[in-house]
Amino acid sequence: MVRNLASGFFESAERFPERPALAVGNENISYQSLRQEVARIGATIQSVGDHQSGVVALLAHRSKTAYAGVLGILAAGKGYAPLNPKFPLDRTLRMLTLSGSSILIAGAESSANLPNLLSTASGSLVVILPDCDVAPAWSKELPKHRFLPAGQMSSGRNLSFSPELASAAIAYLLFTSGSTGQPKGVAIHHSNVQPYVKYVSDRYSVNEEDRLSQEFDLTFDLSVHDMFVCWERGACLFSVPEKSVMMPAKFIRDHQLTMWFSVPSVVGVLEKMRLLNPGSFPSLRHSLFCGEPLPAKYAALWQKAAVNSTVENLYGPTEATIAITHLHWDPGRHEKEYLNGVVPIGWPFAGQMCRIVDEEKRTVATGESGELCLAGSQVTNGYWNDPDKTRERFVQLPGCDGTTWYRTGDLVKQDAEGCIHYLGRIDHQIKVRGYRIELQEIEAVLRRVCGTEQVVAVGWPVRNGLAEGIIAFVSRNEAVDENVVLAECRESLPEYMIPRRIYLRSEFPLNANGKTDRQVLIRHLDAEEGQLQETAVLRGSAR
Ligand code: AMP
């Protein structure tokens, strides 16, 4: 048996019923009030009865219903599969179908997309609408689904909450970009996420006086840290409004946040806008960065702004639950002392394991570079209904009997003190503002849309080592139309995966192995600063 991820919230609601659990927009919601909403959603799910996948889908975005939905699903003993109202319909539909969920909870913020989603969804769903008093008029045209608006939901009194669940129970199911062109599912179990919540809440001594940031979409696993580290200790979660997500300086000050968690790109934007001034954030006591490499320059700048705060670099893939290594930034060290100007990813969390291997999966010598493999209680056991991908990435290593290791695809090396330094990727996965992108997924869409085989996507421009967007090259083809290409990309890819520009090329540079040389393409872009006038036929902007 394992502790339910929602147990921390229920315990805090007992201890601090009147304290604020959540601040969204102008609303402050106490633990007691959020608990009531959670119970209503949880009991409604339970009243609908059992269903096969053990997972309930949630289409909502950082609203009261989104947070209550996450907790309500967990309270019902199910895992939550967050869908993103900002994603294209096609992608949301695929995620919903892959989840196998027969229940969908939808927040008011998803109402524009909901009728289209439901009319294309195969199978019939129970659709819970906590923000609608009565079923919307359009629901009559979709008789195959059953609608439960607020007026028909359970009162919550009969919620049967199990603080302990079977250890195989799923806490959440996320979808990451897939190199085959389809998002791939990662199911994280309560047994994976509980060690994380415990370790991190203890490490940062989170308490009921804390005020934590909530920047991440629910489809990004870093949001799990925000919610559950916060509620575990009776603290308050501050949902950062969309317009402040990349420029949160005023929000941090106005709300006197004590704990910050974001991708490093946010620091770059604040620096560019001259919003990161020394002493700006005195209320912060811990600042955590994760999701992409942390440039040493950004750590130093943030430290000067958050004078009373520690600055920590956390690292981890979704498959290993949020983050699994950390490094405490030492303000005494000069940023130039760091390899490639990037803060190391440090040491594994207590009880978790790292190993660096060569192509034959043999452990490399200290100081040698190799692929980082991860094992321990935080690492899940495979991809959702995808045994082939699971076999490829979840492996046995020579000399480690019985332990399953997750191959991250991250190139790293370890120094004599055991500190791990991040060197880059061994494949074509990149990060844009922390979002994980398999470039092949973009290329698969472009290939289909352009009707041409030769297509290459790269991350560009790159500032302080972080890609800020995507540029695509496609082989010259008379039938290709810029507007059609970008419009079709928007139908299947989220905003952060849409190329900013598409260039037509007659020839692609090749490397020694006869493969397209992406580095040469990037160097051309750098040299010409995006002004590939001779070859640029198509130009489009993602926004
Ligand atoms: P995701 O599954 O979206 O969390 O992405 C995981 C990937 O993000 C890792 O495999 C790394 O490539 C990258 N990543 C996450 N945190 C860091 C970090 N602190 N430094 C460098 N890369 C990171």
165 plus 257 within the same structural domain: no
Residues 193 and 173 in one domain: yes
Residue 330 has pLDDT above 70, yes or no: yes
Pairwise CA distance, residues 344 & 341, whole Å:
9
Is residue 275 domain-shared with residue 304, that is, in the same domain?
yes
Instruction: For residues 153 and 103, state if they share a domain.
Output: yes
Contact 62, 222 (CB under 8 A): no
Instruction: Convert the pLDDT of each residue in 234-270 to its tens digit.
Output: 999 999 999 999 999 999 999 999 999 999 999 999 9
Range from 190-199, 355-364, 446-455 carrying the lowest mean pLDDT = 446-455
402 and 324 fall within a common domain: yes
pLDDT over threshold 70, residue 541? no
Burial (0-12, 13-18, 19+ Cβ within 10 Å), 531? exposed
**Ligand 1 center from residue 315 Cα (angstroms):** 6
Give the mean pLDDT of the chain: 93
Looking at residues 41-57, what average pLDDT do you find?
88
> Within this chain, do residues 305 and 396 fall inside the same structural domain, yes or no?
yes
Q: What distance in angstroms lies between residue 222's CA and the mean position of ligand 1's atoms?
A: 11
Are 53 and 176 in the same domain?
yes
- C-beta atoms surrounding 280 within 10 Å: 18
The pair of three-digit structure tokens given for residue 85, joined into one six-digit string: 């109202």
pLDDT band for position 357 (50/70/90)?
very high
410 with 456, same domain?
no
Spatial CB neighbours of 272, under 8 Å, sequence gap ≥ 6: none
Which of 216, 342, 410 most suits a substitution to test ligand 1, by most atoms within 8 Å of the C-beta?
410
Tokens of 330: 């030492």
Is the confidence at residue 297, as pLDDT, over 50?
yes
Shared domain check, 144 and 69: yes
Q: Which of 419, 422, 483, 475 is nearest to 451 (CA)?
A: 475
Ligand 1 proximal residues by C-beta, below 6 Å: 176, 221, 290-294, 313-315, 317-318, 345, 408, 410, 422, 425, 431, 436
pLDDT on residue 532: 45
Range of the domain at 438: 430-527
> Cα 177 to the chain's mean position, in Å?
10
Query: Which of the pair, 181 or 110, is modelled with greater confidence?
Result: 110
Q: Is residue 228, in this structure, part of any structural domain at all?
A: no
Give the ligand 1 atom nearest the CA of 429: 12
Q: Encode pLDDT of 108-142 as tens digits.
A: 999 998 999 999 998 899 999 999 999 999 999 99
CA distance 395 to 403: 8
With contact defined as beta carbons under 8 Å apart, do 78 and 160 qualify?
no
* pTM score of the predicted model: 0.94
Question: How sure is the predictor about 308, in pLDDT bands with cuts at 50, 70 and 90?
Answer: very high
Check pLDDT > 80 for residue 540.
no
The SS3 call for residue 103 is: strand
From 383, 408, 425, give the residue that closes a domain: 425
Residue type, 244: S
At residue 530 the predicted structure's pLDDT band, cuts being 50, 70 and 90, is: low
CA terminus-to-terminus distance, the chain: 48
Of 174, 436, 466, which is best to mutate to test ligand 1, by the most ligand atoms within 8 angstroms of its C-beta? 436
What does the pLDDT average to over 373-391? 97
CA of 411 from ligand 1 middle (Å) equals 11
Distance 125 CA to ligand 1 centre (A): 35
Ligand 1 midpoint to CA 290 (Å): 7
- In a shared domain, residues 449 and 393: no
Token duo for residue 257: 């946040």
471 found inside a domain:
yes
**Which band of pLDDT confidence, cut at 50, 70 and 90, is reported for residue 506?**
confident
CATH code of 364's domain: 3.40.50.12780
